[in-house]
C-alpha cells in the first residue's frame, strides 16, 4: 500500500492518490515499476471503502462528540469530487492491471453515490462519477452503470444555456451553476469544461447501448459546450493591451469566466481535456 506522506490537513490523500494513478495510466508506455507503484496506490484506495460503499474522505477520524462521522472532511470538494476521482482511477487502471476487486468496489459504491446525488444534486459531482461509471459500463455492460450515466447527464443537459439570449450572447453553450442542490442562473464559467467532459463520456455509453436519441442530444450539447469554452481562451486579438514580452504567457490559456480573466493551469487542463476527449471518443467514433 502506498499513499502521499503529507497529512490530511495539507493534502487530501484520497484525491492525490487517485490523480497520480490517473496520470500514470495516461502515459503511453509506463514502466512495470511505475505500474506497480500505481497498484500500491490503488490498494490504498481500496482500503478506504466502507461497508456502505462510500469511500473514507481522509484518514483523520473526528471524535464522536464533534457531530461528524469518521472520515469527515470540511472541504466542499471532498464528497463531490474526491470519491469520483478514486473510482475513475480504479477503472482506468483496469486497462493495464485488471483485477476483479476494482470493478466490485465501483459496483458497491454506485448505489451510495447515486443516492447522495439524488438527494443533493451537484454539477461537479457528475463529472468524475460519470467518467467512472462509463468505464465500468464499457467493461461490464451492466445496465445499472449505463442508467446512472444517463440519469446524471440528462440532468446536466438541463443546466445548459442552449437558447441565444440577446442580453447574454456569450452565455450560449455554457452551464449554469448549482449550489446546495439548487440551480443558479449565474454567468457560466470554465467549470463548464467538466460538464462537457461528462457529456463526452455519456456519448460513449449511448453509442454502445445503443441509444441514438440520447447520443444525438448529448453530442449537440457537448458541441455547444465546447464552443462556449473557446470564448474563454486568450488569443492574440484580446491580449494586445499586454506588454509584448508578457503576451506569450497568456495566449492559448483558458481563463475563469467573462467576468474574471484569471489564468490557472487547471482551467486550461480541464478545457483541453474536454476538447481532446471529444476528438478521441466522439468525433472520431461518430454516431451509433
Confidence at residue 286, expressed as pLDDT on a 0 to 100 scale: 72
pTM of the model: 0.91
Same-domain check for residues 45 and 175: no
CA distances from 232 to 17, 54, 271 (A): 30, 36, 9
User: For 215-271, what is each residue's pLDDT tens digit?
Assistant: 999 999 999 999 999 999 999 998 999 999 999 999 999 999 999 999 999 999 999
Confidence of residue 76 (pLDDT cuts 50, 70, 90): low
pLDDT in tens, 82-126: 999 999 999 999 999 999 999 999 999 999 999 999 998 988 899
Residue 284 pLDDT level (bands cut at 50, 70, 90): confident
Residues 105 and 11 in one domain: yes
**Residue 57: strand, helix, or coil:** coil
In the structure, what pLDDT confidence band is assigned to residue 65 with cuts at 50, 70 and 90? very low
Over 70: is that where the pLDDT of 75 sits? no
Q: How many residues does the chain have?
A: 288
pLDDT higher than threshold 50 for residue 63: no
Whether residue 131 is contained in a domain is answered as no
pLDDT (0 to 100) of residue 62 = 45
- Torsion, Cα 132 135 140 146, to 10 degrees, reads 70
Whether residue 141 is found in the same domain as residue 224: yes
CB 200, CB 222: distance < 8 Å = yes
Same domain, 45 and 169: no
Listed residue (2, 82, 85) closest to 42, CA to CA: 2
Same domain, 175 and 260: yes
Count Cβ atoms below 10 Å from residue 61 Cβ, excluding itself.
13
CB contact at 8 A, 254 and 202: no
Instruction: Please indicate, yes or no, whether residues 33 and 175 belong to a single structural domain of this protein.
Output: no
Alpha helices in the chain (DSSP H): 13-26, 32-47, 77-93, 100-119, 123-140, 143-157, 192-208, 212-230, 265-277
33 shares its domain with 152: no
> 208 and 150 in contact (C-beta within 8 Å)?
no
DSSP secondary structure of 145-213: HHHHHHHHHHHHHTTB--S-BTTBGGGTT-B-EEETTEEE-PPPBTTHHHHHHHHHHHHHHHHHTT-HH
The domain of 184 spans 136-288
One domain for residues 180 and 288 = yes
Do 249 and 148 share a structural domain?
yes
pLDDT-derived band of residue 170, with 50, 70 and 90 as boundaries? very high
Q: Is the pLDDT of residue 24 over 70?
A: yes
Residues of the chain above pLDDT 70, percent = 94
pLDDT tens sequence across 40-59? 999 999 999 999 999 999 87
pLDDT for the residue 269: 95
Q: Fill in the DSSP letter of residue 278.
A: I
Number of compact structural domains in the chain:
2
- pLDDT for residue 204 is more than 90: yes
Q: What pLDDT is stored for residue 74 in this prediction?
A: 54
Q: Same domain for 157 and 51? A: no
Domain shared by 144 and 280, yes or no: yes
Amino acid at each position: 500500500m502506498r499513499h502521499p506522506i503529507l497529512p490530511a490537513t495539507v493534502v487530501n490523500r484520497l484525491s492525490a492518490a487517485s490523480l497520480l494513478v490517473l496520470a500514470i495510466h495516461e502515459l503511453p508506455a509506463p514502466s512495470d515499476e511505475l505500474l506497480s507503484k500505481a497498484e500500491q496506490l490503488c490498494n490504498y484506495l481500496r482500503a478506504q471503502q466502507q461497508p456502505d460503499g462510500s469511500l473514507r474522505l481522509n484518514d483523520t477520524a473526528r471524535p464522536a462528540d464533534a457531530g461528524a462521522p469518521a472520515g469527515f472532511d470540511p472541504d466542499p470538494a471532498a464528497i463531490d469530487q474526491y470519491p469520483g476521482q478514486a473510482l475513475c482511477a480504479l477503472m482506468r487502471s483496469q486497462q493495464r492491471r485488471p483485477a476483479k476487486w476494482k470493478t466490485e468496489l465501483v459496483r458497491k459504491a454506485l448505489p451510495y453515490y447515486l443516492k447522495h446525488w439524488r438527494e443533493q444534486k451537484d454539477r461537479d459531482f457528475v463529472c468524475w462519477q460519470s467518467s467512472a461509471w462509463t468505464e465500468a459500463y464499457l467493461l461490464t455492460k451492466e445496465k445499472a452503470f449505463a442508467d446512472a450515466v444517463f440519469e446524471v447527464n440528462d440532468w446536466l443537459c438541463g443546466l445548459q444555456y442552449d437558447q441565444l439570449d440577446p442580453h447574454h450572447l456569450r452565455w450560449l453553450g455554457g452551464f449554469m451553476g448549482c449550489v446546495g442542490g439548487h440551480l443558479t442562473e449565474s454567468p457560466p464559467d470554465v467549470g463548464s469544461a467538466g460538464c462537457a467532459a461528462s457529456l463526452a463520456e455519456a456519448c460513449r455509453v449511448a453509442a454502445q447501448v445503443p441509444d441514438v436519441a440520447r447520443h444525438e442530444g448529448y453530442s449537440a450539447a457537448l458541441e455547444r459546450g465546447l464552443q462556449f469554452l473557446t470564448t474563454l481562451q486568450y488569443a492574440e486579438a484580446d491580449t494586445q493591451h499586454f506588454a509584448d514580452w508578457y503576451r506569450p504567457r497568456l495566449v492559448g490559456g483558458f481563463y475563469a469566466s467573462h467576468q474574471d480573466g484569471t489564468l490557472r493551469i487547471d482551467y486550461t487542463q480541464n478545457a483541453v481535456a474536454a476538447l481532446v476527449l471529444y476528438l478521441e471518443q466522439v468525433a472520431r467514433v461518430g454516431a451509433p
